[in-house]
Amino acid sequence: MTIKQMTGENIYHAFLSGANEVIKQKKELNRINVFPVPDGDTGSNLAYTMYTIVQQSKAQKTVKKTMESIAEAALNGARGNSGIIFAQYVNGLYMEMDEGDDISIEGFTLSANKAVDYAYKSISNPVEGTMITVIKDWAAYLRESFRD
């Protein structure tokens, strides 16, 4: 079965699933955190941000309201550069989504790509090869994979 529409509940559970995986992989993310500086805290910062999403966000009746809840939680829990960048990206997803009970995969893909700018604008000197590139590449993957 191919999903063509996502509801607020689908989006909520997808984000919680991803957040829990990041939390589980915190040590590995800290280990591979060597660029641009080997401070080894990306995993800890992202895990804290994700934990706040898990604890504070709620599924709502619409996709837009659900993303608002997730974005608020991410912004509340944003820690370190990686947390701030991710929170701003999620906030961009929320800001770029149309109102409506659900969203098509194409609509989500469009929002995900537009939200990349929010992540880039969240830092004064974006450095490629960091989390910002992962976000940009993921959005590009969606664009290539889910075109009409």
Burial 17-32 (b: 16+ CB within 10 A, else e): eebeebbeebeebbee
pLDDT single digits (tens) 91-109: 999 999 999 899 999 999 9
pTM over 0.85: yes
Range of the domain at 25: 5-145
Q: CA nearest 68: which of 85, 91, 50?
A: 91
Query: How many separate domains does the chain show?
Result: 1
pLDDT at site 133: 92
